[in-house]
Chain A
Amino acid sequence: EPEVTQTPSHQVTQMGQEVILRCVPISNHLYFYWYRQILGQKVEFLVSFYNNEISEKSEIFDDQFSVERPDGSNFTLKIRSTKLEDSAMYFCASSQGTGANVLTFGAGSRLTVL
């Protein structure tokens, strides 16, 4: 069964450093997403990406964040100047964008900012 793969599974970084989280969406999906889940809290939408540009973003997705699809397969989330409160699980997801728009999630990348 096709799956969304994410790397790294866990990243530890110092406050102020830049982090890049990587995702390989399902190959025939057109929409890509990043969600965040702080420990014990809900899954929060960050950004969606379609046709090589951001299609929607939440209030959380400020100038500290950026996304990119550098080649035909990878989808990345860059977090600049990380803060303690950026510590969370970051989930990548992809979908075909039709009907109920069912998202397929990756296993997540755990970011720990010290």
Chain B
Amino acid sequence: QKEVEQDPGPLSVPEGAIVSLNCTYSNSAFQYFMWYRQYSRKGPELLMYTYSSGNKEDGRFTAQVDKSSKYISLFIRDSQPSDSATYLCAMISGGSYIPTFGRGTSLIVHP
């Protein structure tokens, strides 16, 4: 079983839709949870990170962590064509500082 599972997509939605992106994980030692966005042929850039279970909101983005289910989500409200990118979840365990990445979900927001 892979440590971090993420559906590669692609996920195609119309502009203005609410997008839900998800990751599951198997390592209960993961404590920090991050979402990175990667545009084509660019490096990943951090969108949000959370430490505990619950929700964290930043503008149109909401990150949600459910440690009991080992499940994290990223919600994007009022999606825009500029949101089209690959979204990678990443996690760090308490005993390390090296993020483990999911394989990323490709999101396409069409006008």
Q: Which residues of A contact B (CB under 8 A)?
A: 4, 31, 33, 35, 41-45, 48, 56, 89, 91, 93, 95, 97, 100-108, 110
Contacts and interface: CB of A to CB of B under 8 A. Distances in A.
B44 A105 contact: yes
B108 to A, nearest CB: 16
Interface residues of B, number: 22
Nearest to A106: B43
Contact of A48 (B34, B49, B98): B98
B28 to A, nearest CB: 18
Contacts of B46: 102-104
Given A105-B45, A106-B43, A100 B92 contact: yes
A36 B103 CA distance: 12
A103 B46 CA distance: 8
Interface of B: 32, 34, 36, 41-46, 49, 51, 88, 92, 96-104
Contacts of A44: 101
A110 B41 CA distance: 9
A102 B49 contact: yes
A105 B97 contact: no
Q: Which of B34, B43, B98, B101 has the most CB of A within 10 A?
A: B43
Given A43-B104, A108-B41, 18 more contacts: A4-B43, A42-B101, A42-B102, A42-B104, A44-B101, A45-B98, A45-B99, A45-B100, A56-B98, A89-B41, A91-B43, A91-B44, A100-B51, A100-B92, A101-B32, A102-B49, A105-B45, A108-B42
